[in-house]
A = this chain, B = another copy of it.
Amino acid sequence: MTHEAGIPLGIRFKLLSDTPQDSAAQVVSDVVVGDYRDLDTLRDFARGCDVITFDHEHVPTEHLRTLEADGIPVRPGPDALVHAQDKGVMRARLDAIGVPCPRHRIVSDPEDVAAFAAEGEGFPVVLKTVRGGYDGKGVWVVRSAAEAEDPFRAGVPVLAEEKVDFVRELAANVVRSPHGQAVAYPVVESRQVNGVCDTVIAPAPDLPAERALHAEQLALNIAKELDVIGHLAVELFETRDGRILVNELAMRPHNSGHWSQDGAITSQFANHVRAVLDLPLGDPRPRAKWTVMVNVLGGDYPDMYSAYLHCMARDPQLKIHMYGKDVKVGRKVGHVNTYGDDLADVLDRARHAAAYLRGTITE
């Protein structure tokens, strides 16, 4: 999707891909297949690139520092990216700059989890490995010390967090350039199913303007303090008592910003490309009153394209974005966007299309 956004600007990508079957490798012309954890592979790949950026956060921080020492601009840089790689580093830094977060601390064993619970509202407690988690992986919700064995088995530090009594999840997406320019997308509501993002509504319905502005400023402030270059997604909890707490950070175009491909004047992907090249940023404002994104998860159809006939004929305004991935049950294999003036209708169209593409419904 970043390649797609780069084409009209004449921006040419060279891709380091795990396999030739990766989504991006299917559409980019200049692909190197290799392991992003191998420093020699990275250095060979980086030679001749004007700038390096990412579609995931897993490249080892120390390797990125080596690339920078080699003179290759890395955006976002390792000193920023580490906050999206390591939840312990992230929490410590957000505390230091006064950003409201769930109560948290690093815990050493199940007994320490019980102590953490006792320091606050008791169980349940959320445990997260500080590195390597995504889409609900590496996250446990435990109701007792006895349930808290698993997270410690991976041998990486474990972060304990209070289970926030939130009314919904929001996301504030911002983009920042080396020049210091930044833009904020409207704050969206993000609905999760089994820990995986299911639906995003832009803008978040019934969010008071003051609270939306507060969330945007929070994200812009984090981008500035952490010196983030490119897209920053700040996942947020809106609590029952009206507070906004930071849940997670992602430093790349993010699922909560996919709506912008069809719903904003400039998509998150276009603005990420512009930011990492230090070009002036595009207008992030919405083009429609409501835009809804629903993820398409792998389901019953091994060939999801057979569902196009129904979906396209039913809704000529539907925007389908498929990733060319092999279909596995529960895997994100695409998303759909819809937009319009009537939120109930826009939501219904997106949900219908995503469910039909997955095979959950057949009419």
Given the contacts A280-B309, A282-B312, A316-B280, A322 and B9 also touching, CB distance less than 8 Å: yes
List A residues 1-58 near B (Cβ within 8 Å). 1, 3-4, 7-10, 12, 25-29, 31
Q: Which residue of chain B has its CB nearest to the CB of A266?
A: B316
B25 and A309 within 8 A (CB): no
Taken together, the copies of this chain in the complex come to 2
Q: How many angstroms from the CA of A313 to the CA of B278 in the assembled complex?
A: 11
Interface size range of chain A in the complex: 35 or more
What residue of chain B has the Cβ atom nearest to residue A337's Cβ? Answer: B8
Partner of A283, one of B31, B316, B324: B316
Question: For residue A25, which residues in chain B have a CB less than 8 angstroms away from its CB?
Answer: 29
Provide the residues of chain B in CB contact with A316, threshold 8 Å.
265-266, 280-283
Give the contacting residue for A8; candidates B31, B309, B320; CB below 8 A: B320
Q: List B contacts of A8 (CB < 8 A).
A: 1, 4, 261, 319-322
Interchain CB contact under 8 A, B322 and A265? no
Chain B residue contacts of A317, Cβ below 8 A: 265-266, 282-283
Question: Which chain B residues lie closer than 8 Å to A282 at the CB level?
Answer: 312, 316-318
| Chain B residues in 8 Å Cβ range of A322 | 8-10
Query: What's the least CB distance linking A280 to chain B, in Å?
Result: 4
| Nearest CB of chain B from residue A356's CB, rounded to whole Å | 13
Contacting A10 at CB < 8 Å: which of B9, B318, B324?
A: B324
- Chain B residues with Cβ below 8 Å from A281 are 312, 316
